[in-house]
Amino acid sequence: MSIHDLPIHTLRGEPTTLGSLGATAILAVNVASKCGLTPQYTGLEALQRELGDRGLTVVGFPCNQFLGQEPGTAEEIETFCSTTYGVSFPLMEKIEVNGEGRHPIYAELTAVADAEGHSGDIRWNFEKFLIAGDGTVTRFGPMVTPEAPELRSAIEAALG
């Protein structure tokens, strides 16, 4: 089964898959509302608005595994993201990205190493995974901002 076919639920509880988003490229990000990196939502939304028409979809995966920085309910997360950052990209259900309860999507993603050679467990909130249409995954650490040249060039390459 492809990563595009693994089942997940939206933040509102509706069943879906990454493949059903109809994107040429997906930027999957484990997000949190109470983290020092939370302002990256601004850049993620800018990417969605700028490149969405070309086939990019940013997808947020709320996760509370890092110092409890995503404690809210689905409704609280949705309200925070939309009112504070104007988030228009899809948000999925709150999941675990590490450990025995790791969601199958993240089991696939964490097998990939980033530019520094890190694979395995997610290190912190806002780690990014660019999933190309063919399923190829490129991993970026949490400190790689949405504006970073290396992320932008990888997105451009995935979009063709």
Active site residues: 35
Contacts of 135 (CB under 8 A, 6+ apart): 2, 3, 4
- Six token digits for residue 141: 């650490």
Could you tell me which of 93, 87, 88, 140 has the C-alpha nearest to residue 113?
140
Could you tell me which of 10, 1, 46, 12 has the C-alpha nearest to residue 27?
46
Residue 37 contacts residue 148 (beta carbons within 8 Å): no
* Rounded CA separation 111/156 (Å): 23
> What CA–CA distances, in Å, run from 63 to 48, 91, 96, 101, 135?
20, 11, 6, 12, 23
* Rounded CA separation 5/135 (Å): 11
